[in-house]
Copies of this chain bind each other. A is one copy, B any other.
Amino acid sequence: MLEYQAPERDLEFLLFDLFEVQKAWQDIPAFADFTDDLIRAVISEGGKLAREVMTPISQQADAEGSRWEDGVVTAPSGFREAYDQLAGGGWLGLSGNPEYGGQGMPKLLGCLLEEMFWGSNTNLYLYATLTVGASICIDAHGTEEQKSLYLPMLYSGQWSGAMDLTEPQAGTDLGIIRTKAEQAADGTYRISGTKIFITAGEHDLTENIVHLVLAKLPGAPDGTRGISLFIVPKYLPNADGSPGERNGVASGSIEEKMGVKGSATNVMNYDGAVGYLVGEENSGLACMFTMMNYERLSVGLQGLGAGELAYQQAVRYARDRLQGRAPGGPQNPDGTADSLLVHPDVRRMLLTIRAYTEAGRAFAMLVGLTLDRGKYADDRDSQALSELLTPIAKAYLSDKGFESAVLAQQVFGGHGYIKETGVEQIVRDTRIAQIYEGTNGVQALDLVGRKVLRDGGRVLKRFVEYMSGETVPDRYRDALSAEFDRLGKVTESVLARSGDDVDLPGAVSTDYLELAGLTIYAWLWARMVEVAGDDAFGQAKQQTADFFFARLLPKTLALEQSIYADSSAVMAMNDTTF
């Protein structure tokens, strides 16, 4: 059975010792009230909700799934009550705009709470994350009227959000969407068409659902420059803000999927549905990217939460399961066998999960910190850095989350393949994180193409310089320095070769993203050991860091070599030969 405990000790270490949040926030007046005690209380309350309310209904939700009948979608048992607690506790408006009922908390705190919520119940949190994302989008691009009407309802969780992008013929390539919008006499729009894969597009958890829909106006330019964004509520709000008449938007069906079965993935049909323009006509994709960038980090946090959940299950099983004897002789001579923890290869698996998860947590919080400094301290370097790091966070955290879930399942042996232990559910639920919100291949191309090549590697180089300037323990200094050099050298090579070879960025992007991820994790591991004390917690950090440097970091040797390969390695084969 799945059990989950929020990693509170590690979170506090990262906040107070590694990132020294109070120092990092000292020029942000909006955060002046967030004392260490308040932060501790938030973590503790969030952890309690995750552990006691969200975790216990996760496996049942997988077994039951969401149900669709005549356009009505029913979420799994217990979801309504748990969602009400999530919403009622103010967790959905945590980082929301205080002018409209949000709590104005730092994104940094939002990140660590999202890790808990994803980790404890991915299926349930999928109903929440789109709500948070929709509120961010409306806050950034909505009119004053739209903000006043929708934000309080979204922050309070009375209404939920959805992000309606994908169509049967248009996934990654949003330039070819067919959903149409036409302006009506009253200035609103009428939306017609069909979207697929709409998470939380229809369900029974909230009294209204606010769809953010991409559509094309008549005569709009081809491609992504001709896309507009609309608010399409399930029920049209009355003047007083209460849900009124049913809008012409409905769920045609829900998908049968590999995982996240408790989360309804809808086909949405718009039949002249009333829509309200967000931002300018034909600038919808840029507006949607405000939401999408949030969701990308959030999906990274899904992977991170899954890694932590997987680790906890695997360690518990490894500790309790008696099987075989230690290579050096019995460690538990009175028992029928020793625990799995005596086996070096089991330890290798557990330490791999741990090394990726703890570094991943630090990385996610770093991204949260840069987002906060960009938004609240008008720190342009931090803003640029957050843009560089977002695709890495989405792809690398979700890749490592999936890898961690698979490793945890392997620790369980056959018991990991049957439903009872819940660990196979983590594998299935986490797999989608590598796919949605832009596949990880798309993230890698975004990193190499838009974030590195476009500015000649300027932001990346500045970040590497920053990392290089930080104090780290002697034991890691040379190895880390070699990694910084490697990343610099590889970046130069990709920059130099991409001028003549249009296929090169896409050919090496996935390997490049992993190389960047490993380098950043190496730096974070060294830094964590530097600031951790000599107590048991600090010793565990050092042992995990030692493992990371010795056993996982060498992958950069392979990635470097692979990235030096010509694009012909992937382009030579004829389409017809595949």
List residues of A whose CB falls within 8 A of some B CB.
Answer: 166, 169-173, 176, 196-197, 255-259, 265, 315, 318-319, 322-324, 327-328, 336-337, 339, 341, 343-351, 354, 406, 409-410, 413-420, 424, 427-428, 431-432, 434-436, 439-441, 444-445, 502-507, 509-511, 536, 539-540, 543-544, 546-547, 550-552, 554-562, 565-573, 575, 577-578
Contacts and interface: CB of A to CB of B under 8 A. Distances in A.
Contacts of A562: 550-552, 554
Nearest to A548: B569
A445 to B, nearest CB: 7
Given A323-B172, A327-B503, A345-B506, A418 B255 contact: yes
A319 B578 contact: yes
A532 to B, nearest CB: 13
Given A427-B258, A575-B319, A570 B557 contact: no
A533 to B, nearest CB: 15
Given A337-B176, A417-B257, A578 B428 contact: no
CB-based closest 7 A-B pairs: A344-B506, A554-B561, A550-B565, A258-B424, A344-B507, A557-B557, A327-B502
A432 B417 contact: yes
A489 to B, nearest CB: 15
Given A565-B550, A566-B550, A572-B543, A436 B410 contact: no
Contact of A577 (B419, B511, B540, B558): B540
Contacts of A505: 327, 344
Nearest to A338: B173
Q: Which residue, A176, A547, A578, has most C-beta atoms of chain B within 10 A?
A: A578
Nearest to A438: B413
A414 B197 contact: yes
A258 B555 contact: no
Contacts of A575: 319, 339, 341
B543 A578 contact: no
A543 B566 CA distance: 13
A570 B171 contact: no
B578 A551 contact: no
Contact of A318 (B337, B567, B578): B578
A562 B557 CA distance: 11
Contacts of A555: 555, 558
Nearest to A510: B345
A410 B428 contact: no
Contacts of A543: 572-573, 577
B507 A350 contact: no
A504 B327 CA distance: 9
A339 B328 CA distance: 57
A197 B427 CA distance: 20
Contacts of A318: 578
Nearest to A503: B344
A345 B169 CA distance: 20
A99 B136 CA distance: 75
Q: Which residue, A339, A424, A547, A569, has most C-beta atoms of chain B within 10 A?
A: A569
Q: Which residue, A337, A341, A345, A543, has most C-beta atoms of chain B within 10 A?
A: A345
Nearest to A419: B256
B345 A509 contact: yes
Contact of A570 (B172, B323, B348, B441): B348
Given A543-B572, A547-B570, A562-B550, A414 B435 contact: yes
B172 A324 contact: yes
Given A341-B575, A578-B318, A413 B435 contact: yes
Given A328-B502, A410-B435, A424-B431, 17 more contacts: A171-B323, A171-B415, A173-B323, A176-B336, A255-B419, A258-B419, A259-B417, A327-B505, A344-B505, A345-B510, A346-B441, A354-B578, A544-B573, A551-B565, A551-B569, A554-B560, A557-B558
A337 B197 contact: no
A536 B577 contact: yes
B441 A507 contact: no
Nearest to A508: B344
A81 B561 CA distance: 52
A572 B347 CA distance: 10
Contacts of A418: 255-258, 265
A570 B344 contact: yes
A410 B440 contact: yes
Nearest to A547: B569
A90 B18 CA distance: 67
A182 B346 CA distance: 36
Contacts of A550: 562, 565-566, 569
Contacts of A343: 441, 506
A515 to B, nearest CB: 11
A143 B572 CA distance: 58
B417 A439 contact: no
Contact of A337 (B173, B414, B427, B558): B173
A417 B435 contact: yes
B427 A410 contact: no
Contacts of A427: 258, 431
30 contacts: A169-B336, A170-B323, A197-B414, A256-B418, A258-B418, A258-B419, A265-B418, A319-B578, A327-B505, A328-B503, A339-B575, A341-B575, A344-B506, A346-B441, A347-B570, A351-B570, A409-B431, A413-B439, A417-B431, A417-B436, A546-B568, A546-B569, A547-B570, A550-B565, A550-B566, A550-B569, A551-B565, A554-B560, A556-B558, A557-B558
